[in-house]
Amino acid sequence: MVGANNRTMLEFNNDPIYAGVNTENILYRVGIYLRLSRDDEGAGDSESIINQREFLSKYVKSQSNWILVDIYIDDGYTGTNFNRPDFIRMKNDIESGKINLVITKDLSRLGRDYIDTGYYLEKYFPAKRVRYIAVNDGIDTFEKNNGNNDMGAFKSVVNDMYAKDISKKVRTAKKTKAEKGEFIGAFAPYGYKKHPNDITKLVIDEEVSDVVRFIFTEYNKGSGLSYIARRLNEKQIECPSIYKQRTCKFHCKTLTGLWGHETVKSILTNRVYIGELIQRKGEMVSYKVKKYIQLPKSEHIIKENAHEAIISKEEFNLTQSILKAKMHKTHDRQFTDHLLSGILYCPRCGNKYRYQKQNGLKDDMVAVCSLYNRYGKEYCSRVAIRESKLNKAVKDDLKSMAKQKLDNDKIIKLDEVNNIRKEKTKISKSKFDYEKRINEINRIIKSTYEDKVNGVLSSEEFNLMIDDYRREKETLIQKAKFLEEQLNSYENTKEDELTKIIKSITNFENIDKKTIMSLIDKIEIIDSESIKIYYKFSE
């Protein structure tokens, strides 16, 4: 902060500035604003943060009635939106009266979006009685006869067009690089690092490449995703996000800092490990709308043999075959075999509950917090509840509520029941998904047979996989047939469906998963004896 000035400070909020008071009579509390985006870095040293700071600091010191209060710096932030950390901090200081003059080197440092820049020049700064100066553009909002002020809007449009042009050039350049097989990502995938002399090339990161090999080897030997994650945590191996944060400029968002089954799965399905680069999977909506959208696979840019592989193609293909067989069956079994799966939550950590077997219980399972089950008591408590007890508690509560409180008017408010006419569409979609999976299995069986013929799979591996696929296919055929029968006998009226739901509860008939999902949003497991049910209707 510059030393105190002996001049008496006028109360800024009471100054009739727009009535023509001489600005030399005002003691200004100055905030210098500096900004540099990655796109501006190509403009040379003249736009650097250091240059902006020195230039403006000297300018402020040359004014007798100015006090430098603070310097606000947004380094690496685009000018096409104003959601920048230090710009927001500067606005807070304006609101609190800490500063009453904002100065930038030129108008483009304030922003490049002509609509938002115009808002601050024409509305925000005047409303807050804040003077704004863009030195190189000659703009000073408190000089009424300054012709450069009238050119501010035009300059904002030019700055906006410049940002648009730069955005197009950057997007085109990245696409061209991707088509040439050059790496365009900000961070190298786990197991690789950028070449020290050419950041567009990936080289194997020997520090962690053995971890990637370990994951593929263990999974192909029959280990599960959670088991592999647990082993890595036991070995105290950093998860990819923590490792990335330690080795490069990456802000880690992980809460636990531990390996999880989804992280393991993402590595097992990433084709980068066989030397392929799949880039341009998505892009920002526009240079102004910083929302990332996924692009269709037809627009992805794929380059084979772009870098040295860590995993052989044969090993990778075997992994994908096992994943398809294993993961589909596991998810399907967890969701369909248990009445309340998918809506059980732990109130202590917010994670879902999953079912597992427990010694001593032959015909029953217990629901346990997935975070505890994966990482242990250091991260959550083992609060388990038997499935039979859980199901009975929920059914009894539904029956009791239906008999005492629910009538047609209340039930008709339920989201799911209110959309009952969509049920046919849902059934048709499920039937389509089953048929799609059946066709997929037919293709996998054909591909697996070709792998056997080519010597990729042994006869024992082939027979094991084919038996699993055939059993799954038979089950799917039966399910598709059942849904076909449902569609043929479907009753079209909303009232008939309402009657069925009410009857299934009040007459103590079996309450199925469809009913549960229609009525209940989530269930929290408080302890082994109590639960809290959140229904989808307000009462």
Q: How far apart are CA 61 and CA 58, in angstroms?
A: 5
Q: How far apart are CA 261 and CA 267, in angstroms?
A: 10
What per-residue confidence (pLDDT) applies to 422? 64
> How many Cα atoms are found within 13 Å in the side-chain-facing hemisphere of 419?
8
Distant-in-sequence, close-in-space partners of 84: CB < 8 Å, separation ≥ 6: 35, 74, 77
Which is nearest to 268 in space by CA: 212, 324, 209, 329? 212
The model's pLDDT over 191-232, given as tens digits with 9 standing for 90+, comes to 999 888 988 899 999 999 999 999 999 888 888 888 899 889
The ranges assigned to domains in the chain are 12-163, 192-311, 320-535
pLDDT at 508 over 50: no
In angstroms, the first-to-last Cα distance of the chain is: 59
Q: Is the pTM of this model over 0.95?
A: no
What per-residue confidence (pLDDT) applies to 407? 53
What per-residue confidence (pLDDT) applies to 16? 39
Q: How far apart are CA 352 and CA 380, in angstroms?
A: 12
Cβ–Cβ under 8 Å, residues 265 and 324: no
Amino acid in the structure at residue 382 = R
Give 125's pLDDT tier (boundaries 50, 70, 90).
Answer: very high
Residue whose tokens read 């589909």: 328
Question: Are the folds of 12-163 and 192-311 the same?
Answer: no
Which is nearest to 31 in space by CA: 53, 64, 8, 7? 53
Token output for 488: 């043929």
More confident residue, 79 or 239: 239
Token output for 447: 């591909």
CA 200 from centre of chain: 26
Token output for 518: 């229609």
Average pLDDT of the segment spanning 356-372 = 82
**Architecture of the domain defined by 192-311:** Alpha-Beta Complex (3.90)
Give 13's pLDDT tier (boundaries 50, 70, 90).
Answer: very low
Which superfamily does CATH assign the domain made up of 12-163 to?
A: Resolvase, N-terminal catalytic domain (3.40.50.1390)
Which is nearest to 188 in space by CA: 180, 200, 175, 179? 200
Give 405's pLDDT tier (boundaries 50, 70, 90).
Answer: low
Using CA atoms, how far residue 502 sits from 157, 232, 251, 511, in Å, is: 63, 50, 52, 10
Q: Give the three-class secondary structure for 288.
A: coil
The model's pLDDT over 73-92, given as tens digits with 9 standing for 90+, comes to 998 888 888 889 999 999 99
